[in-house]
Chain A
Amino acid sequence: MPDDQREPDTLLLLAMHKGDEAAARQLWDKHAPGLIATAAALLHNAGGHAAAHDLVQQVFCTLLQTSRSQLAAIRDTRAYFARAVRNAALNERRAIARRDHHTRQQAPPPPSAPPMGVSGDIHWPSILARLDPAHQEVLILKHVARLTLDQIAIATGESRGVVAGRYKSALDQVRSLVHITQEAL
């Protein structure tokens, strides 16, 4: 693909791959804040801001090891970054789950999920915590990472149709959970 047909961010990525610090800084300033928020949400805030920051830093460092031809073929940098962060977050979550499994064997069971109604209002974190992981993920990518359904399809490796269906059923699930909460209040 000729350079003039590439996204400006892909050109920055290629420059960063050569070791260009200014290009890396531009990419970091543009994408990192959103990616850190997305990583924190995907990690369910385990480890807090620092863990999410480390994860995004790790993604940027991994990009330097990626082949140049692979980077040159990127059509949507935003979706590519989201995909890299999502995959790294999934790996991190698996590692946390393994660690927790060992810890739980030696410690008392953790408290159950928080109640849905808090202070007479809807408690959104607990509603989102009750969604199944695939639905949670699509909501995070849509509302935290602010990706379009096409970009979510790239980030998750699913077809657009599957993503659209998953988003619709996530909304249905949220709607019914909100309804239950409001009735309980």
Chain B
Amino acid sequence: MSDHTGEPSTDPALEAQIDRAVAPSALEHAPMPAALGAALRSRRRIRTLRRVAAGVGVLAAILAIWHLPIHRLAPTTPGATPQIIAAAPARALPLPPLMLDTGLAVTIHVRVGQSIDSAAVMRLTGP
């Protein structure tokens, strides 16, 4: 015989008695508290601000990187993707790595016409 959770019951009579004694007979519907609603609104505002800050950061990275020299190196093996080297000073910009890499990726894509993921940019332009 199984209990209310569907598990085998060792003493169904006693468990039923405990159930009647301690289980809430009817769960009261509690409206969502106003404080939680306020916390959610604040959460949304923080997320929007973060997105704006990230956008501004990427834009700043693009503007800073735009005038730096970018070189295309011939591939070492035939058929391989040409290596792209953005000037190392780009790494010295006081921006978080994710923004910097996104800025580098966008700049290289627009100027050299090659799609390159941020990991590759990091590897090629690392210190």
A101 adjacent to chain B (CB < 8 Å): no
Contact B29 A146 (CB under 8 A): no
Q: Check if B33 sits within 8 Å of A53, measured CB to CB.
A: yes
Looking at A19, A24, A37, A149, the one whose CB has the most chain B CB atoms below 10 A away is A19
Check A171/B23 contact, CB under 8 A, given A21-B37, A32-B30, A57-B36. no
Q: Assuming A36-B28, A37-B24, A57-B35, is B7 touching A19 (CB within 8 A)? A: no
Q: Could you mark each residue 1-42 of chain A with 1 if its beta carbon is under 8 Å from any beta carbon of chain B, else 0? A: 000000000000000111111001100110011101100010
B22 touches A146 (CB 8 A): no
Number of residue pairs spanning A and B whose beta carbons lie under 8 angstroms apart: 92
Q: A143 is contacted by which of B23, B30, B35 (Cβ under 8 Å)? A: B23
Residue A103, interface by CB 8 Å: no
Does A46 belong to the interface (CB within 8 Å)?
no
**Binary interface profile of A, 51-71, with partner B (CB < 8 Å = 1, else 0)?**
001001100110010000000
B:32-69 near A, CB below 8 Å: 32-33, 35-37, 39-41, 43-44, 47
B 1-27 binary contact with A (CB < 8 Å = 1; else 0): 000111100110011011101111001
In angstroms, Cα B41 to Cα A12, docked, is 16
Q: How far is the CB of A39 from chain B (nearest CB, A)?
A: 11
Known A-B contacts A139-B22, A171-B14, A174-B14; the reply to A28 vs B36 at CB < 8 A is: yes
Inter-chain CA distance A37–B32, complex, in Å, is: 15
Give Cα A68 to B40, complex, Å.
Answer: 15
Smallest CB gap from B35: residue in A: A57
A33 to B26, CA, bound (A): 9
Given contacts A24-B36, A53-B33, A148-B5, contact A19 B43 (CB under 8 A): yes
One of A24, A143, A171 near B32 (C-beta < 8 A): A24
Q: Which residues of chain B have C-beta atoms less than 8 A from A174's C-beta?
A: 14, 18
Closest chain-B Cβ to A100's Cβ sits at a distance in Å of: 24
Residues of B within 8 A of A146 (CB): 4-5, 23
| CB <8 Å contact, A19 and B35 | no
**Complex: how many Å from CA A175 to CA B17?**
11
Write the chain A residue with the least CB distance to B4.
A146
A166 at interface, CB cutoff 8 A: no
Shortest A30–chain B CB gap in Å is 11
Set B6, B27, B44: member contacting A19, Cβ < 8 A: B44
Which residues on A are within 8 Å of B, measured CB to CB?
Answer: 16-21, 24-25, 28-29, 32-34, 36-37, 41, 49, 53, 56-57, 60-61, 64, 124-125, 128, 139-140, 142-144, 146-149, 168, 171, 174-175, 178
